[in-house]
Amino acid sequence: MQALADSLGIIHGDDIVYEDTKFKVQYLISTLWTDFAINSLHGCTDPNAQDYARKIAFHELREAMPEYRDVDFDDLQGDIIQRRMRPQDAYACHQASRAFLEAELSKPYDGRRVIVTHHAPHRNSIAPVFRDSKLNPAFASDLSAMIERFQPDVWIHGHVHNSSDYMIGNTRIVCNPRGVANSNKEFDWRKIIEIDAPMRKGVQS
């Protein structure tokens, strides 16, 4: 891909802050992974319920998702013990990505903020046909509280194979994937996201 587009960057295991100083837009870029708790009761903030849902997801996804069959963990994080990646590893990566995002979003910024992640930050990104799927914990987390607290202007993500464009509070969440073998019929080659949110002075406490 980089041979075809010399300005294309590939992010692997890194969290990146990029600022477009001309237009005053800050991009926070991270893989994100997931917290594996999205199948707990919608809106449930009870840590015990989320931990229970997470343990179930760890067990069910260990065999169901290809990353836990084909990915060597040392390739991802530099672990000296070569072994297959586990859901627990992805959860640890999610915690690190989330800490990065929250730390950066906590800093005042007089401009627009755009978050770019691979994994989805909200259950509304899951297609209705998959709303009850046991695989959802591998695709999305429910980060409603973080979104509503910090209110980034736009959150762009991938990983799911369906298009979506919706609002959570003041944040626009957008996904526009081609899908596997061009399977997403709603993919828009010409999609442009215009940012017209007001300048910000800080974040909600």
Kindly state whether residue 141 falls inside one of the protein's structural domains: yes
Q: What is the CATH number of the domain that holds 132?
A: 3.30.750.180
Kindly state whether residue 43 falls inside one of the protein's structural domains: no
Domain that holds residue 160: 16-38+94-182
Kindly state whether residue 50 falls inside one of the protein's structural domains: no
The angle at the Cα of 63, spanning 74 to 43, to the nearest 5 degrees, equals 95
* 90-131 per-position pLDDT tens digit: 999 999 999 999 999 999 999 999 999 999 999 999 999 999
Amino acid at 104: E
Please provide residue 94's backbone torsions phi and psi, each rounded to the nearest 5 degrees. Answer: -60, -45
Q: Return all residues near 8 (Cβ < 8 A) that are at least 6 apart.
A: 1, 2
Kindly state whether residue 58 falls inside one of the protein's structural domains: no
Length of the chain, in residues? 205
Q: Torsion angle of alpha carbons 43, 45, 47, 50, nearest 10°?
A: 10
Kindly state whether residue 23 falls inside one of the protein's structural domains: yes
* 133-189 per-position pLDDT tens digit: 999 999 999 999 999 999 999 999 999 988 999 999 999 999 999 887 778 888 888
In the chain, pLDDT over 90 holds for what percent of residues?
A: 59
Kindly state whether residue 196 falls inside one of the protein's structural domains: no
Q: What is the pTM of this model?
A: 0.85
What is the number of domains present in the chain? 1
Kindly state whether residue 121 falls inside one of the protein's structural domains: yes
- Average pLDDT of every residue of the chain: 86
Query: Is there a contact between 89 and 129 (Cβ–Cβ < 8 Å)?
Result: no
Kindly state whether residue 170 falls inside one of the protein's structural domains: yes
Range 68-91 average pLDDT = 79
CA distance 14 to 151: 23
Nearest to 164 by CA among 131, 195, 133: 131
Q: Return all residues near 146 (Cβ < 8 A) that are at least 6 apart.
A: 98, 101, 102, 105, 121
